[in-house]
A and B are shown apart, each in its own frame.
Chain A
Amino acid sequence: MRRVVITGQGTINALGQNVPDTLDAMREGRCGITELELRDVDRLSIKIGGQVKNYDPEALFNRQQIALYDRFTQFTLIAAHQALDGCGLSFAGELATRSGVVLGTAGGGVNTWDENYRSVYEEGKNRVHPFVVPKLMNNAAASHVSMEWNLKGPSFSVATACASSNHAMGLAFQLIRGGAADVMVTGGSEAMLSFGGIKAWEGLRVMSKDACRPFSANRNGMVQGEGAAVFVFEEYEHARKRGAQILAEVVGFAMTSDAADIVMPSKQGAARTIAGALKDARLNPQDVCYINAHGTGTAANDKVECAAVADAFGHHADDLMISSTKSMHGHLIGGTGAVELLACIMALRDGIIAPTIGYEEPDPECALDVVPNVAREAVVEACLSNAFAFGGFNAVIALRRAP
């Protein structure tokens, strides 16, 4: 069977505008959640988020590009440049047709929707910029990546709310393993921190006004984040022959549907997905030493997720570590699984487990080793990354140390 490895990574998020800065922050347990800076923030009841600060798009993109690149596309291209520029691949001829891009985003060009609705509804304008549609569409980021790097193989975007990136990366993995492609650029992006994007989330009454404290008994909700992470997935022999630096191996993926509730998570669904990813990866439960949790910091998710891990792993659940880095970078919605995969790769490569920060009180319903507040060293052979989306769609990825 064809094997799949990761040969490039890039990111921009509230913790850092590249991979080393992001991993430093995770290692130090630093919080990237701050007071939001955006228009009409005084009319929001939620005023915090994992916002990318000190960011000047005009320094990175020209006027024509900005006319076409929504913030989520900008984030994607920044992360993609980091992932691809140093990875030694150039996409021409046969390799171009054997390479594609699949990216997750839940909302796509939310800021573009927001700004242009304001313009026509609030300001009463009757005309919008000609590129509003190609700027806001969910596949805009993936399309711009394909054009920038000449990727002519299977390419599309995936929108499954909070599981978008895990679905995207899982499909990229399957496309290479199944023989449809040799290289896939994958990951995800989200830029939903606009007035309308936050107002919509406020309505659900699941947001915290002060902090994201996953698994802590006093947790009081999720905190939104923004940003992107992009990876290069490559067929193992292809990477080996060209002497590529291999960051980790992608060994398994499973996706399921709860077919139950539009917002409440399901223990059975989550457990079934975790077990499915282990089986797909041919891993025994005891091979897994770390799980990057979905860990949103809501009452419902965290207890259901812990129960699902206990179900899927049995006694071994007490021996593994599970942490939620959302406590630091916030919930990037459709981009979250991509940024969280960075923590998985750090665990495998550097033997450092990113902590769950903001942890204050043990919750008997989350009685696992959640790596509270301080990063830990450990030798990790294999790990999982969980994503359980609104709508009951679950996606779990399994990684292993580079061969």
Chain B
Amino acid sequence: MADSVKDKVIAIIAEQAVLEPGDVTLDATLADLGIDSLGLVESIFAIEEAFDIQVPFNANEPDQSDFDISSVAAIIAAVEGLVAEQTGG
């Protein structure tokens, strides 16, 4: 399941960045990929829809959010955590 979360998140980010999924590396930041604040909000919406989860994110304080967006890998880990919470482990 972990792989499918990773693949889906990468696909969402790639679509937002207008890149091929293969070009989205795990250590990249969203800024590296050319995703701005609007793109970020849209990506989070797409993630919520894809996994049927609620992502705690406020654009006014992105750094203070429980949802780590510092890199692609961090986003994948955060989504995995939320999906696990949702399914009860």
From B41, B54, B58, A221 is in contact (CB under 8 Å) with B58
Q: What residue of chain B has the Cβ atom nearest to residue A222's Cβ?
A: B60
Whether A129 is near chain B, meaning CB under 8 Å from some CB there, is no
Whether the pair B60, A263 counts as a contact (CB closer than 8 A) is no
Q: What residue of chain A has the Cβ atom nearest to residue B55's Cβ?
A: A205
From A203, A220, A264, A300, B58 is in contact (CB under 8 Å) with A220
A137 CA to B44 CA in the complex, in Å? 33
Chain B interface residue bracket vs A:
10 to 19
A203 CA to B60 CA in the complex, in Å? 13
Whether the pair B60, A219 counts as a contact (CB closer than 8 A) is yes
With A221-B58, A299-B61 as given contacts, are A203 and B45 in contact (CB-CB < 8 Å)?
A: yes
* CB within 8 Å: A-B pair count: 32
Whether the pair A221, B37 counts as a contact (CB closer than 8 A) is no
Whether the pair B44, A205 counts as a contact (CB closer than 8 A) is yes
Interface of chain B residues 13 through 66 with chain A (CB within 8 A): 37-38, 41, 44-45, 54, 57-61
From A204, A208, A220, B41 is in contact (CB under 8 Å) with A204
Whether A323 is near chain B, meaning CB under 8 Å from some CB there, is no
A205 CA to B59 CA in the complex, in Å? 5
Whether the pair B38, A263 counts as a contact (CB closer than 8 A) is yes
Whether A336 is near chain B, meaning CB under 8 Å from some CB there, is no
Whether A206 is near chain B, meaning CB under 8 Å from some CB there, is yes
A207 CA to B59 CA in the complex, in Å? 9
Q: What residue of chain A has the Cβ atom nearest to residue B41's Cβ?
A: A205
Give chain A's interface secondary structure class: loop
A12 CA to B60 CA in the complex, in Å? 29
Whether the pair B61, A205 counts as a contact (CB closer than 8 A) is no
A372 CA to B44 CA in the complex, in Å? 35
Whether the pair A298, B45 counts as a contact (CB closer than 8 A) is no
A45 CA to B54 CA in the complex, in Å? 10
Whether the pair A205, B38 counts as a contact (CB closer than 8 A) is no
Using Cβ atoms and an 8 Å threshold, which residues of chain B touch A299?
59-61
With A263-B38, A264-B37 as given contacts, are A208 and B60 in contact (CB-CB < 8 Å)?
A: yes
Whether the pair B41, A298 counts as a contact (CB closer than 8 A) is no
Whether the pair B37, A220 counts as a contact (CB closer than 8 A) is no
Whether the pair B45, A206 counts as a contact (CB closer than 8 A) is no
A208 CA to B54 CA in the complex, in Å? 16
A61 CA to B44 CA in the complex, in Å? 44
Residues 201-224 of A, flagged 1 when their CB comes within 8 A of B and 0 if not, give: 001111110000000000111000
A264 CA to B40 CA in the complex, in Å? 14
From B38, B45, B60, A220 is in contact (CB under 8 Å) with B60
Interface of chain A residues 276 through 290 with chain B (CB within 8 A): none
Using Cβ atoms and an 8 Å threshold, which residues of chain B touch A298?
59-60
A316 CA to B45 CA in the complex, in Å? 43
Q: What residue of chain B has the Cβ atom nearest to residue A302's Cβ?
A: B60
Whether the pair A220, B61 counts as a contact (CB closer than 8 A) is yes
Using Cβ atoms and an 8 Å threshold, which residues of chain A touch B45?
203
**Min distance, Cβ B10 to any Cβ of chain A, angstroms:** 22
Using Cβ atoms and an 8 Å threshold, which residues of chain B touch A203?
41, 45
**Min distance, Cβ A211 to any Cβ of chain B, angstroms:** 12
Using Cβ atoms and an 8 Å threshold, which residues of chain B touch A263?
38
Using Cβ atoms and an 8 Å threshold, which residues of chain B touch A219?
60
A203 CA to B48 CA in the complex, in Å? 11
A59 CA to B57 CA in the complex, in Å? 42
Using Cβ atoms and an 8 Å threshold, which residues of chain B touch A262?
38
Q: What residue of chain B has the Cβ atom nearest to residue A206's Cβ?
A: B59
**Min distance, Cβ B35 to any Cβ of chain A, angstroms:** 14
Using Cβ atoms and an 8 Å threshold, which residues of chain B touch A205?
41, 44, 57-59
Interface of chain A residues 193 through 248 with chain B (CB within 8 A): 203-208, 219-221
A204 CA to B57 CA in the complex, in Å? 10
B residues touching A (Cβ–Cβ < 8 Å)? 37-38, 41, 44-45, 54, 57-61
17 A-B Cβ contacts within 8 A? A45-B54, A204-B41, A204-B59, A205-B41, A205-B57, A206-B60, A207-B58, A208-B60, A220-B60, A221-B58, A221-B59, A221-B60, A262-B38, A264-B37, A298-B59, A298-B60, A300-B60
A residues touching B (Cβ–Cβ < 8 Å)? 45, 203-208, 219-221, 262-264, 298-300
Q: Give me the 5 closest cross-chain CB pairs, A-B, nearest first.
A: A299-B60, A205-B59, A221-B60, A220-B60, A205-B41
Q: A203-B45, A220-B61, A262-B38 are in contact. List 15 more A-B contacts (CB 8 A).
A: A203-B41, A204-B59, A205-B57, A205-B58, A206-B58, A206-B59, A208-B60, A220-B58, A220-B60, A221-B59, A221-B60, A263-B38, A298-B59, A298-B60, A299-B59
